[in-house]
Amino acid sequence: MLKRYLKSFILLTIFYYGECANILYVVPFTSRSHNIMLKPIGLELAKRGHNVTVITGYLEKTSLPNYKQILIDKKEIWEVLGTRPNVFTMAELSAEEFHDLIFWRGGLAFTELALNSTEVRKFLAGDNTYDLVISEQFFQEAMYTLALKYQAPLVLVTTFGNCMRHNIAFRNPLQLATVIPEFLDLNDPPSFWGRLRTFYFTYYEFAWWKYWYLVEQEKLAKKYVPGLPEPMPNLYEIQRNVSLFFINSHFSFDAPVAYLPNVVEIGGVHLTRSSEKLPEDLQSLLDKAKEGVIYVNFGSNVRSSELPVDKMNALIKVFSELNHTILWKWEDDKSDLKTKNIVFRKWFPQKEVLSHPNIKVFISHGGLIGTQEAIFHGVPIIGVPIYADQYNNLLQAQHLGFGKILRFEDINEQSLRSKLVDVLFNVSYQNVAKEMSKRFKDRPMTPLDTAMYWIEYVIRHNGADFIKNPAIQLSWVAYNMLDVYAFLLVVLLVFLYMIISVILFFKRYFSSKANAEKSKSSRNKKKN
């Protein structure tokens, strides 16, 4: 009886103080790294008493009765594109080429896959109501129309950092001199040519996105999402009016940026709480590695097994020379390769591996999730960037002093040995990595608690329109003060015209007077 009353009291307390809401959480992209970062938000909302419905590509094992999962048809981005290339070859692609081949085409194909999935179609046809819609921002803008369908405020969350497209729509200051577009690689961002490239790419991407990509996404929304209002606001208007935008960054590592109140940094949100432990065999292996461990993992999309033979052999040769233990994520069976100190496995629990004190270096592709995990645990990085934001992340790590960049095309025995010896035995890398860990963790609230506070804030205040930039109500001309500058320019030109006219008038007046005096003097001389 006492237990029943206690349970009722707890539930009443949650309902009273937590302001429980019905929340639709839309995170369908089937990338393991995206899921690692995004799933804690949905689970924590459910733990706090909210009724959470998740559209996802990953089934989460949970006993929470208020956490309902709608599974999309499971396909990776490569499957919907029709082919899976050797991802290492993408290191040669420019940012524009990568957008065309992967982001634009893949985004449209994957959005259609998600909306046309069996469980999603059944869900959308049902009678549901929601107080809030949270959607991942990753080239699937048609999903934002679910906020229209359910007449609920919209919150966006991205697994990347600062988003230039969103900044322009949202009227957040661009700061192009110091903030790099998230998918643009630049060797020297502050230089004139770096800033010129930033300026060009920012508006190149924005123009393609607004005037072509969003139009195609709107077609998908109208085709697959029933019950949308007519006329439907365009997706650009929906995006610029979102209540809240979570970005996966933090000023301790990323460049400090001026953000509006409804742009909130939650970098490291997936690192707030972790009850997972290393498997016993892996724990024992790491504990016994007294010389230290080098951890090699190129992420969920970049496969070590696709390395060209010459580069693979260079890595193995250099690793074999060391007394360190090497943990290497390798997707194929490597039982045929006998090495004294290299352990190949198809998957490692990365957060837990990096938390072990014997980890000395993380050899990575530079993905933001993995980079944040290394920062959190104070582990130096040697990075081989392949595409998207990876080069930017590694450039920042190198600039701050806890990482080194090794270009894919430069991988050979000499280059790897040089960088590996430098990072392993130069104590400054370890020291900076530990200092970065302290900075990254030093916050008034954890990233997850920060996300929870602002989500519940938006719910409490019915969308919290008052924290949006009032400039979203202005035209582009008015927001940039172009009409005011044009008016002032006209006033200045009129004023200069008047000044010049007066000067010319007096010049002509005195010139004519002087000529008249000269003429009179000349006539007088002739008379004499």
Instruction: Give per-residue pLDDT as tens, 158-215.
Output: 999 888 898 999 899 888 998 888 899 888 999 999 999 999 999 999 999 999 999 9
- Only one residue has tokens 């097994």, namely 305
Asked whether the predicted pLDDT for residue 239 surpasses 70, the reply is yes
Instruction: Give per-residue pLDDT as tens, 398-408.
Output: 999 999 999 99
- The one-character DSSP state at 413 is H
Asked whether the predicted pLDDT for residue 7 surpasses 60, the reply is no
Asked whether the predicted pLDDT for residue 45 surpasses 80, the reply is yes
Asked whether the predicted pLDDT for residue 505 surpasses 80, the reply is yes
Whether 266 and 161 have beta carbons less than 8 Å apart is answered as no
Residue 286 is predicted with a pLDDT of 94
CA angle 391-33-328, nearest 5°? 75
Q: What is the mean pLDDT of residues 56-84?
A: 87
How much of the chain, in percent, has pLDDT values that exceed 90?
A: 70
Residue 1 is predicted with a pLDDT of 46
Q: How far apart are CA 82 and CA 515, in angstroms?
A: 88
Instruction: Give per-residue pLDDT as tens, 99-137.
Output: 998 899 999 999 999 999 999 999 999 999 999 999 999
SS3 136: strand
Q: What is the mean pLDDT of residues 483-495?
A: 96
Q: What is the mean pLDDT of residues 285-300?
A: 92
Contacts for 262 with CB less than 8 Å, ≥ 6 apart:
242, 243, 244, 245, 464, 467, 468
Asked whether the predicted pLDDT for residue 284 surpasses 80, the reply is yes
Asked whether the predicted pLDDT for residue 9 surpasses 50, the reply is no
Buried/exposed code over 481-498 (b: 16+ C-beta within 10 A; e: otherwise): eeeeeeeeeeeeeeeeee
Query: Which is nearest to 390 in space by CA: 358, 412, 364?
Result: 364
Q: Which two tokens stand for residue 392?
A: 């930017």
Q: Which two tokens stand for residue 244?
A: 């809240």
Whether 169 and 236 have beta carbons less than 8 Å apart is answered as yes
The single-letter code of the amino acid at 47 is K
Query: Which is nearest to 135 in space by CA: 455, 525, 366, 407?
Result: 455
Instruction: Give per-residue pLDDT as tens, 437-478.
Output: 999 999 999 999 999 999 999 999 999 999 999 998 888 899
Q: Report which of residues 285 and 516 the model is more confident about.
A: 285
Residue 13 is predicted with a pLDDT of 47
Residue 331 is predicted with a pLDDT of 85
First and final C-alpha spacing in the chain: 137
Asked whether the predicted pLDDT for residue 244 surpasses 80, the reply is yes
Whether 356 and 297 have beta carbons less than 8 Å apart is answered as no
CA angle 365-435-159, nearest 5°? 40
Query: What strands lie across the sheet with 403-405, from one edge to the other?
Result: 342-345, 325-329, 293-297, 359-364, 381-383, 403-405
> Sorting pLDDT into bands at 50, 70 and 90, what band is 8?
very low
Query: Which CB contacts under 8 angstroms, 24+ apart, belong to 379-385?
Result: 379/295, 379/354, 379/433, 380/423, 380/429, 380/430, 380/432, 380/433, 382/406, 382/419, 382/420, 382/423, 384/298, 384/408, 384/411, 385/91, 385/185
ω into 229 cis (within 30 of 0): no
Q: Extract the runs of DSSP E, i.e. beta strands, from 165-302.
A: 244-247, 263-265, 293-297
Residue 74 is predicted with a pLDDT of 81
SS3 27: strand
Q: What is the mean pLDDT of residues 75-82?
A: 78
Residue 85 is predicted with a pLDDT of 75
Helix (H) or strand (E) run with residue 214 in it: helix 214-224
> Sorting pLDDT into bands at 50, 70 and 90, what band is 306?
confident
Among 74-78, 285-289, 442-446, where is mean pLDDT lowest?
Answer: 74-78
What's the chain's average pLDDT?
A: 90
Residue 525 is predicted with a pLDDT of 65
Residue 338 is predicted with a pLDDT of 66
Contacts for 156 with CB less than 8 Å, ≥ 6 apart:
134, 135, 136, 137, 144, 166, 239, 242, 244, 245, 246
> Sorting pLDDT into bands at 50, 70 and 90, what band is 87?
confident
Residue 14 is predicted with a pLDDT of 47
Q: How far apart are CA 187 and CA 42, in angstroms?
A: 37
Torsion of CA 234, 264, 367, 220, to 10 degrees: -20
Helix (H) or strand (E) run with residue 404 in it: strand 403-405
Helix (H) or strand (E) run with residue 360 in it: strand 359-364
Q: What is the mean pLDDT of residues 355-384?
A: 96
